[in-house]
Amino acid sequence: MSQALDENKIGGLGASRKRVEDNRFIRGRGNYTDDIVLPGMLHLEILRSPLAHARIKSIDTSRAWAIPGVRLVLTGEMAATRNLAWMPTLSYDTQAVLATDKVRFQGQEVACVVADDPYIAKDACEAIDVEYEPLPVIVNPLQAVAEGAPVIRDDKAGQTGNVIYDWEVGDKAGTDRAFERADRISKLRLHYPRSHPSPIECCGAVADFDRATSKLTVYMTTQAPHIIRAAVSMVAELPEHLIRIISPDIGGGFGNKVPVYPGYVCAILCSILLERPVKWIEDKTGNLISTGFARDMYLDSEMALREDGKILGVRIHADADHGAFFADAQPSKFKIGLLHSAFACYDIPAAHLTARGTYSNKAPGGVAYRCSFRVTEAMFFQERMVHQAAADLGMDQAEFRRLNFVKADAFPHRTPFGFLVDSGQPEACLDVGLKAVGYEDFLRQKEEARSHGRLLGIGISTMTEPLGAGNSREYDILGIKMFDSAELRVHMTGKALLRVGAKSQGQGHETTWAQIVSHELGIPADDVTVEEGDTDTAPFGMGTYASRSTPVAGAAISMVSRKIRAKARKLAAHLLEVSEEDVEWELGRFFVRSAPGRGVTIQECAMAAYGNMPDGMEPGLENNAYYDPPNLTWPFAVYIATVEVDPETGVWDVLNLVAVDDCGVRINPMIVEGQIMGGLTEAYAMSNMQFITFDAEGNCVGSNYLDYLLPTAWETPGFELHSEVVTPSPHHPIGAKGVGECAAVGGPAAFVNAVMDAIGDTGVRNIDMPLLPDRVWEALRYRHDVS
């Protein structure tokens, strides 16, 4: 009789264990950066530029210095004396910390004040007199490359225009041939607008330089503490072992907390200059106007089609607006992120992608907001193109997709852009989704409704996401390879401390990581403490973004647990007085193969590691593991939305949204569902209401919550989630794939396609997001595309 523990009872793999971190979050006992209070701490505020493009003629700080309680007024000129007016970005560009020559976007950091309290600092910022000479403003890629356009980055030697890169991938000649053979060519122009993640907590830091020990400690809102440590070491020219980055609780990141911001650098520099702790906490407008934007990409696309519905080739040109500094945190090999992960689930013989990145007078942006390095754009464009191609052919949306899907037995599949998709079941997911939404039935209802003047629509979107950068052959940031790590200490009573190089911002790592240990070792999850985010204690990690934590750090947790189990097996053999080969494992216990009743628990092995180890064995039960994934993980999903559009007002309501997510083995199904619901809510927000943009003068429209809308429970529709299809990752030790961004990546096209389907009779090919009522109304009324 097996005496294995019941995995569900100990909180192992597949258990919907309640989130342990919520215990402190919902009691108001979280410890966020703004909760950090140090003795003698001062407060920093930033003066931001009101103009989008202007030469700085003079900065007069004398009125600010005169205000009682002001300790330091820092300008770019002063920062330059420390070589800190500029800093390197994560994409091999430079970014102004405090402006010296020009301001290049509205909200750019011009100066900062440190004072006894934040109110004095704010008042003093307003007392700084800056004289600007306005310059012509560029707010889109078209203007950026126009004849005679002002050069935004005239600080860079050799930069003549505003182009950052021209990049291409795929098979141009093969694609040209496919287009020559095509029966029909379907074209579409799209814009994925700028969006902003807007986490509840803004960015901030408390920098504490101790002159006596020469140690710099920085508490800060970062998704990647070790990368920040390396960056601070390079920028501030401080030795890495004397820098400690602590990322305490984070109130949402969504990619907003990956970049290095001037505010962090200012807090650090001011702490070094004043030898006092300095706190910088951004306000909401500062966050919305200046930090980590996403998307802002224009697409020109063509699809070569055979009359029977087969896709023969795809041609894509993308223009990406990066704002004034190219600061994307993304793998250095790929200039436009993983945009070329498009069309990974469709069997397409030839494809070619060209991409151009340009500067503009906007805040830096591109990669943020649940995007996995621009897979958001890849999937949105892909599914809008597929929708339009099916419509152009007069084919059924579902059938067109089915016909072109990579079949389940054809994996591993090499995509036309070179990725190797190792697993997936696109058709099975589509079938579950169609059944759940009642596809045939809805098509009939739609026809019926139309005869009464009601506009119903159905939109399908699929999502294939390359998650878990790296493998280190292809993925690095600033030359640092993308692997991840875990360190596990099993104490003598069998309780454990797990330290991981990733950093949760709300995803629930403290809960789920313990479940992996529990699955591997049979130690109850409640007996495992999880720690992340302190570079002095956590093993080196590349941080949490691109839903890479489960694929990479999660795998490292499995591997370190297995190392511990291997040593525990030796201890078990010693305790049971048999040879190691005669020892078997079942969850929580080793036993003698020939006498299953004779066994020892993992806790007994732990005790022996400290009190009764065999001769010659090193004491202790601790280890670490680094995991360098051989491939990405490839989750797949199908999202289907049904909507009704009001023809009089353009308002649209979601009738139903069905989500079928295959993210491999689920560690914690409840947390996975939370991730999917959150992602769908954001997808709905982006498609329906989230509007943040820049007018012709470069003024940010949407830098407050009256213009930039966050959906509440009232606006958000209900979602029906399905988990029937499970395709384990073939290389991940527990078969898990990432999931954190999937629904935000794949969701928007489902809503947009549904609205486009509802107004299909008008001949309108596209309305750009967000599909605000006035835009939909305009399309219905004037029967033209709306951008």
Give the catalytic positions in this structure: 223, 370-371, 741
- 476/580 with CB nearer ligand CUM: 476
H/E run at residue 625 = strand 622-627
Closest among 190, 192, 122 to 744, alpha carbons compared: 192
Find the length of the chain.
Answer: 787
H/E run at residue 511 = helix 509-521
- 520/741 with CB nearer ligand CUM: 741
Using CB distances below 5 to 8 A depending on partner kind, what does residue 217 bind out of ligand MCN, ligand CUM, none? none
Note whether 668 binds ligand MCN by CB under 6 A: yes
Using CB distances below 5 to 8 A depending on partner kind, what does residue 736 bind out of ligand MCN, ligand CUM, none? ligand MCN
Q: Which residue's Cβ has the minimum distance to ligand CUM?
A: 255
Tokens encoding 102: 């020009």
- 338/521 with CB nearer ligand CUM: 338
Among 546, 659, 759, 772, binds ligand MCN (CB under 6 A): 546
Tokens encoding 447: 């026809």
Listed ranges 247-255, 495-503, 586-594, 642-650: which one lies at the site for ligand CUM (CB under 6 A): 247-255
- 357/664 with CB nearer ligand MCN: 664
Q: What is the DSSP string of 68-116?
A: TTEEEEEEHHHHHHTT-SEEE-TTS-EEESS-SSEE-STT-EEEEEEES
Count of beta carbons in the 10 Å neighbourhood of residue 699? 17
Tokens encoding 548: 């890479």
Using CB distances below 5 to 8 A depending on partner kind, what does residue 549 bind out of ligand CUM, ligand MCN, none? ligand MCN
Note whether 12 binds ligand CUM by CB under 6 A: no
Note whether 675 binds ligand MCN by CB under 6 A: yes
Note whether 258 binds ligand CUM by CB under 6 A: yes
- 186/549 with CB nearer ligand CUM: 549
Separation between Cα atoms, residue 37 and residue 533, nearest integer Å: 18
Number of residues interacting with ligand MCN: please give it, by CB under 6 A.
Answer: 35
What phi and psi, each to the nearest 5 degrees, are found at residue 674?
-60, -40
Note whether 703 binds ligand MCN by CB under 6 A: no
Note whether 330 binds ligand CUM by CB under 6 A: no
Sign for the CA dihedral angle at 429, 434, 435, 436 comes to positive
Closest among 719, 702, 671, 18 to 296, alpha carbons compared: 702
The SS3 of residue 760 is: helix
Separation between Cα atoms, residue 21 and residue 30, nearest integer Å: 9
Residue window 344-383: x/- pattern of binding to ligand MCN, with contact defined by CB under 6 A: --------------------------x-------------
Tokens encoding 175: 């694609």
Among 298, 369, 483, 708, binds ligand CUM (CB under 6 A): 369
Contact 672, 736 (CB under 8 A): no
Listed ranges 73-81, 505-513, 569-577, 767-775: which one lies at the site for ligand MCN (CB under 6 A): 505-513
Among 738, 747, 748, 770, binds ligand MCN (CB under 6 A): 738
Listed ranges 122-130, 280-288, 364-372, 613-621: which one lies at the site for ligand CUM (CB under 6 A): 364-372
Residue window 67-96: x/- pattern of binding to ligand CUM, with contact defined by CB under 6 A: ------------------------------
Note whether 207 binds ligand MCN by CB under 6 A: no
Q: Residue written as tokens 């902003």?
A: 196
Contact 84, 96 (CB under 8 A): no
Determine how β-strand 243-246 pairs with β-strand 583-586.
unpaired
- 367/564 with CB nearer ligand CUM: 367
Tell me how far CA of residue 300 lies from CA of 164, 252, 350, 465, 608, in angstroms: 19, 34, 17, 22, 66
Using CB distances below 5 to 8 A depending on partner kind, what does residue 367 bind out of ligand CUM, ligand MCN, none? ligand CUM
Among 12, 107, 204, 255, binds ligand CUM (CB under 6 A): 255
Note whether 549 binds ligand MCN by CB under 6 A: yes
Separation between Cα atoms, residue 364 and residue 169, nearest integer Å: 25
Note whether 737 binds ligand CUM by CB under 6 A: no
Note whether 455 binds ligand CUM by CB under 6 A: no
Bridge partners, residue 95, by sequence: 87
Note whether 198 binds ligand CUM by CB under 6 A: no
Q: Any idea what the Cα angle at residue 594 is, between residues 590 and 596, rounded to 5°?
A: 45
Contact 55, 102 (CB under 8 A): yes
Count of beta carbons in the 10 Å neighbourhood of residue 452? 6
Residue window 223-262: x/- pattern of binding to ligand MCN, with contact defined by CB under 6 A: -----------------------------xxxx-------
- 504/601 with CB nearer ligand CUM: 504
Note whether 545 binds ligand CUM by CB under 6 A: yes
What phi and psi, each to the nearest 5 degrees, are found at residue 648?
-80, -35
Q: Which residues contact ligand CUM (rule: CB under 6 A)?
A: 223, 253-255, 258, 367-372, 545-546, 741
